[in-house]
Amino acid sequence: MNAVPERTPVAVHEGVLELERGLSLHFGGRLASVRVAWRLVGDPDAPVIAALGGISAGRSVIEAGGEKGWWSDIVGPGKALDSSRYRILGIDFLGGSGGTTGPKAGQNDFPSIASQDQAEILRQVVAHLRLPPLEAIVGASYGGMVALAFAERWPELVKRIIVISAAHRPHPMATAWRSVQRAVVRFAAQSGQGSEGLRLARALAMATYRSPAEFEQRFAGPATHVDGRFQFPVESYLLSRGDAYAAAYIPEAFVCLSESIDLHQVDPAKVRVPTWLVAVVEDQLVPLSDMRALMHSLGGPAHLAELSSLYGHDAFLKETQALRDVFTRALSPAGDVK
């Protein structure tokens, strides 16, 4: 019997950057002291790509040390974004539930956070690690907003950005859905039920992340009688997702970062680095029309890939082959050409 070759351990470098002088915020105010949790995985001689995801994502991007990353299905050795060719940098978002400074449970006075503030803490991590200009920032959902904000302010620090399902501003319909989610959490928190409010808000959010076609395929079955009432298959799924989320995240952090999405604004004309955009036709949160408008407004070379996916906004977590094609083209020597 042939022995299975052992996988070479992946080099993992991580830490917490203390911003002892604090941080001035985009919308005003200042945090007196800030901690930024970061992780850098891969060959120390390889170029660096920062990978940023949705508001639930953090510094653990790929599988390392037995820990599964939030993007492990897409990023890793030989995967769609090949970490054997690049070092992968991840951060925990400011205002979130991770190791970076954010609100404590029950705290209602944490300041509003902008995508520009996330870009600033990423810049400070890059400077702290004395990294050369990033080969790319690959940002999906909220992370795509941060990538745009970074490129707008510091084009000399990144060679290109790849933006998946994120535009220069939020769509009002998406803001409508998120506003109701935040209201649910705040209302529940007033009676000490913040976790229950987060459970319901996340359940509602999941209905916007996926496509109607997927739900029709998966949840068209009949209702069942549970505890004296009817329960629908899609209801069971959404609430189970809400339960899992509420067990892992802080309600006030969800409100902070959800609001940050809706406050996001950049001037596309000031984004002059080569930019690859990925739009999903079935995305309910970031319409194809917004992604097309962004492409035509960018101040530098731009390319738009339009994908079709049952997974809607969540396609960036699922569409391995389509993203592999995009990453291969965007990161090739010719990837900067319009």
- Where residue 56 falls (left for φ over 0; alpha for ψ -120 to 50; beta otherwise) is alpha
Q: Is 141 a catalytic residue?
A: yes
Q: Which position among 117, 283, 290, 314 bears the catalytic label?
A: 283
As to burial, measured by CB atoms within 10 angstroms (0-12 exposed, 13-18 middle, 19+ buried), residue 254 is: buried
CA distance 243 to 268: 38
- With CA atoms as reference, report the closest residue to 215 among 196, 236, 231, 198: 236
Instruction: Say whether 283 is catalytic.
Output: yes
Pick the catalytic residue from 168, 264, 303, 313: 313
Dihedral sign from CA coordinates of 327, 329, 333, 337: negative
**Up-side HSE of residue 163: CA atoms within 13 Å toward CB?**
31
Q: Are 229 and 223 in contact (CB under 8 A)?
A: no
Query: Using CA atoms, how far apart are residues 101 and 85, in angstroms rounded to an integer?
Result: 31
42: which 2 tokens?
């891969």
| 313 flagged as catalytic | yes
Asked whether 190 and 178 are in contact (CB, 8 A), the reply is no
Radius of gyration of the chain (CA): 20
C-beta separation of 299 from 328 below 8 A: no
Distance CA 104, CA 195 (A): 13
Please give the full DSSP string across 248-293, using - where no structure is assigned.
Answer: TS-HHHHHHHHHHHHH----GGG--S-EEEEEETT-SSS-HHHHHH
The residue annotated as part of the active site, out of 97, 141, 211, 258, is 141
Q: Count the residues in the chain.
A: 338
Residue 279 · residue 236 · CB < 8 Å:
no
Residue 9, SS3? coil
Instruction: Supply the residues annotated as catalytic.
Output: 141, 283, 313
